[in-house]
A and B are shown apart, each in its own frame.
Chain A
């Protein structure tokens, strides 16, 4: 093992950080799509249709024990095959980042559905009933009364889920995507396997900074949104 080279450690940042936008783009798009899907699933779980309830609960249950890497490979290898066989659509030439975004969105939709559901249920139903009583429509009652309260409750768990998503997005390099991890991996290969300690350590620090940014901004937002609210936003600890 070559001795730890501090100079090399610093140079890793310069070589890896240019790929930060790729990582961030994947994270942001995955958050958007998984939130949309998560809302649909949460609605299905809370809705009155028995079919939708079973489907959405089954989805959450199955995805809960699926390792991210397995879903990533299933989407990467299986989806093109499935579409080619069933609909005769060829997506083999799609960019790898699209497969990563699909896999992460599918995976985290189930987590976010749980977050949204518990946040919605934490708001007292009396709030909605009172809003309907004073003449608001069903949509207005949700949009103006329930949602603002539910967001405050959902925020800590949402931030935890986002932190977990960022960590799992690091797996994208195994299917050959050139993000930060991929760039670091290439860097080690170019040095014939040397300096792996410096490279991985630098990557760990970058991920740590991302984590702290998410953590702190969630804390700040929670304080900001919670202003003027009297309901206790008790957050269940979610282990990332």
Chain B
């Protein structure tokens, strides 16, 4: 065991944490509104879009993350190149794009599918009487959603959103396959010079443990914050 290497690589990998956090948070933030839209399509069974939404969700949830990353990373740049430069003649240098962008795209696509299922089950747990009552007192359907249904659904969705965020965070450890310089990639590269792979992976393990623990604390606070009205009712 090379303790010096362990400590040096740890600090090198710590400096790559912002990339990991950026990919995770950007993917989840993009996934939240689009996932909600997809959930809405599935609940209202919008014509034509509904079967597409179901197939998309199933495919995304069934396919291993590695496979999705490899699939998109090997085809998306060429595909964009054909569309943007050969069809539209925009002359954008697709192949020079920062791989972080591709990572965010792939993880967003995964987040959208999983979040749509989270939102769907959360909205379905709300008693339809809530919506009817909201419409009865004169709220518009959008107001009923925005003021009555979403605040309640969010409370039951938060633990699952937390789980998903944790899974995306863990999934970013695969982003090194897209040449993204995040925690895993930095530690792996450092290890490849001296072949200290065990030490490098212990470093990555510790960093992910810290990040995962912080994430769980944040979501526990969020859950408590969003369910504060519920607790007040219980106290009465």
Question: A and B: partners?
Answer: yes
Q: Are B117 and A239 in contact (CB under 8 A)?
A: yes
Given contacts A81-B198, A237-B118, contact A65 B61 (CB under 8 A): no
* Between-chain CB contacts (< 8 Å), 22 pairs: A61-B213, A65-B216, A66-B205, A66-B212, A67-B170, A69-B184, A71-B205, A74-B202, A74-B205, A78-B198, A78-B202, A167-B63, A171-B64, A196-B70, A197-B71, A200-B74, A208-B58, A208-B59, A237-B117, A237-B118, A237-B121, A239-B164
Chain B residues with CB under 8 Å of chain A are 58-59, 61-68, 70-71, 74-75, 78-79, 82, 114, 117-118, 121, 160, 163-164, 166-167, 169-171, 173-174, 184, 197-198, 201-202, 204-205, 208-209, 211-213, 215-216
Interface residues of A in 186-239 (CB under 8 A from B): 196-197, 200-201, 203-204, 207-208, 210-212, 237-239
Task: Evaluate contact between A204 and B71: CB separation under 8 angstroms.
Answer: yes
User: CB-CB < 8 A to A169: which residues of B?
Assistant: 64
Contact B58 A211 (CB under 8 A): yes
Q: Contact: A163 with B67, CB < 8 Å? A: no
CA distance A21 to B58 in the complex (A): 24
On chain A, the residues within 8 Å of B174 by CB distance are: 67, 69, 171
**B184 contacts across to A, CB distance below 8 A:** 67, 69-70
A64 CB–B CB distance under 8 Å: yes
Q: Which residues on the B side are within 8 Å of A1 (C-beta)? A: 75, 78-79, 82
Additional pairs, 19, CB under 8 Å, beyond known A62-B209, A200-B75: A61-B213, A64-B166, A64-B212, A66-B209, A67-B184, A70-B184, A74-B205, A78-B202, A163-B61, A170-B64, A174-B66, A203-B67, A204-B59, A204-B68, A207-B67, A208-B63, A210-B62, A211-B61, A237-B117
A61 nearest CB across to chain B (Å): 8
Verify if A73 is at the interface (C-beta below 8 Å from B).
yes
Residues on A with C-beta less than 8 A from B212 are: 64-66
Tell me, rounded to whole Å, the shortest Cβ–Cβ distance linking A216 to chain B.
12
Determine whether A154 belongs to the interface, using a CB cutoff of 8 Å to chain B.
Answer: no
| Contact assessment for B75 and A70 in the assembled complex, using a CB-CB cutoff below 8 Å | no
Interfacial chain B residues near A201, Cβ < 8 Å: 71
Q: Are A65 and B166 in contact (CB under 8 A)?
A: yes
A240 at the interface (CB under 8 A from B): yes
Q: How far is the CB of B16 from chain A (nearest CB, A)?
A: 14
Q: In the complex, what's the smallest C-beta–C-beta distance from A112 to chain B, in angstroms?
A: 15
Whether B67 pairs with A170 at a CB distance below 8 angstroms is: yes
User: Given A70-B204, A204-B59, A239-B163, are A77 and B198 neighbors across the interface (CB < 8 Å)?
Assistant: yes
Q: Say whether A239 contacts B160, CB under 8 Å.
A: yes
Mark A51-89 against chain B: 1 for CB-CB distance below 8 A, else 0.
Answer: 000000000011011111111011001100100000000
User: Is there contact, CB below 8 Å, between A197 and B74?
Assistant: yes
Contacts of B201 in A (CB 8 A): 70, 73-74, 77-78
> Contacts A204-B59, A237-B160 hold; do A70 and B173 have CB atoms under 8 A apart?
yes
